[in-house]
């Protein structure tokens, strides 16, 4: 009897350290979809560039601004995204970034000329630069150090790595079956789903007034 009780106790102690609960599973799905959205959108838009140029009469050299506009703002606003994550609720910052990204994607979907598309892509880069650091910070905040965090990081990284190839394939399928706007529409729908999914993420305990008073759990 004592042996059975001891075995049961060991099982209950070991299980939480190796498996996700319902809340953590939902959180990991949302965060993984977010990184997948960021990475796959880059690839799918690249795949759609020839169709964009053909439909709007844009030269190949000018088309590169659709890619460059995103890259410049993404790199330029990463530090701001990290700073916002340090100061405010990480879930709120994450939702803000996804919201900006999704709204800009909708604008790109209805754009009728190059300046509008480039501007929308630049705003997309800002949204991704805000949501990216917040997503990673949430992962470290909500998943305790040890097997759970390692497993979560492996899944998160794996989704990000696989999303580029998936985005290229998806971009080709959408432009072939519909047109280049379908790529942005699909990304906007996925972004809206991620935004709705932020409700599954537990809120941060509080915002941080300054880096010196910001605990790791904030």
List pLDDT tens digits, range 29-62.
Answer: 999 999 999 999 999 999 999 999 999 999 888 9
Q: Is residue 2 part of a domain?
A: no
**Per-residue confidence at 204, pLDDT binned at 50, 70, 90?**
low
Residue 20: its pLDDT value, please?
62
12-23 burial code (b ≥16 CB/10 A, e <16): eeeeeeeebeee
Q: Is residue 7 part of a domain?
A: no
Q: Is residue 16 part of a domain?
A: no
Residue carrying the six token digits 């799905």: 29
Q: Is residue 141 part of a domain?
A: yes
Task: Tell me: pLDDT of 167 over 50.
Answer: yes
Q: Is residue 15 part of a domain?
A: no
Residue 13: its pLDDT value, please?
38
Which tops the pLDDT comparison, 71 or 206?
Answer: 71
| Total number of domains in the chain | 1
Alpha helix positions (H), the chain? 2-14, 22-56, 60-87, 90-110, 114-142, 147-177, 180-197
Give the CATH number, domain containing residue 26.
1.20.1250.20
Instruction: Read off the pLDDT of residues 104-139 as tens digits, 9 standing for 90 and up.
Output: 999 999 999 999 999 999 999 999 999 999 999 999
**Per-residue confidence at 22, pLDDT binned at 50, 70, 90?**
confident
Quote the domain boundaries for residue 46. 22-210
Q: What is the DSSP letter of 204?
A: P
Residue 60: its pLDDT value, please?
86
Task: Tell me: pLDDT of 143 over 50.
Answer: yes
Instruction: Read off the pLDDT of residues 175-191 as tens digits, 9 standing for 90 and up.
Output: 999 999 999 999 999 99
Q: Is residue 11 part of a domain?
A: no
Q: Is residue 127 part of a domain?
A: yes
In sign, the C-alpha dihedral spanning 136, 137, 142, 146 is positive
The predicted model scores a pTM of 0.83
Residue 203: its pLDDT value, please?
79
Residue 18: its pLDDT value, please?
52
Closest CA to 121 of 187, 192, 53, 167: 187
Q: How far apart are CA 124 and CA 108, in angstroms?
A: 9
Q: Is residue 8 part of a domain?
A: no
Find the Cα–Cα–Cα–Cα dihedral 207, 213, 217, 218, rounded to 10°. 10
Q: 24 to each of 20, 115, 130, 142, 144, how far by Cα in Å? A: 6, 41, 22, 8, 11
Residue carrying the six token digits 């994450």: 94
Q: Is the separation of the CB atoms in 214 and 84 below 8 Å? A: no
């Amino acid at each position: 009897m004592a042996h059975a009780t001891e075995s049961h106790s060991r099982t209950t102690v070991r299980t939480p350290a190796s498996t996700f609960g319902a809340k953590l599973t939902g959180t990991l799905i949302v965060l993984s979809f977010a990184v997948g959205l960021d990475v796959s959108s880059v690839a799918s838009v690249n795949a759609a560039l020839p169709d964009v140029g053909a439909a709007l009469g844009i030269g190949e050299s000018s088309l590169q601004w659709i890619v460059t506009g995103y890259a410049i703002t993404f790199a330029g606003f990463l530090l701001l995204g990290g700073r916002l994550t340090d100061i405010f609720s990480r879930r709120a910052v994450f939702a803000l970034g996804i919201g900006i990204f999704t709204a800009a994607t909708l604008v790109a979907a209805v754009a009728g000329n190059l300046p509008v598309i480039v501007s929308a892509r630049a705003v997309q880069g800002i949204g991704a630069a805000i949501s990216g650091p917040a997503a990673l910070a949430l992962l470290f905040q909500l998943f305790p150090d040890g097997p759970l965090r390692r497993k979560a990081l492996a899944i998160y990284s794996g989704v990000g790595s696989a999303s580029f190839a998936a985005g290229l394939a998806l971009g080709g399928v959408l432009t072939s079956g519909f047109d280049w706007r379908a790529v942005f529409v699909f990304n906007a729908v996925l972004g809206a789903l991620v935004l709705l999914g932020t409700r599954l993420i537990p809120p941060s305990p509080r915002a941080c007034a300054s880096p010196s008073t910001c605990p790791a759990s904030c």
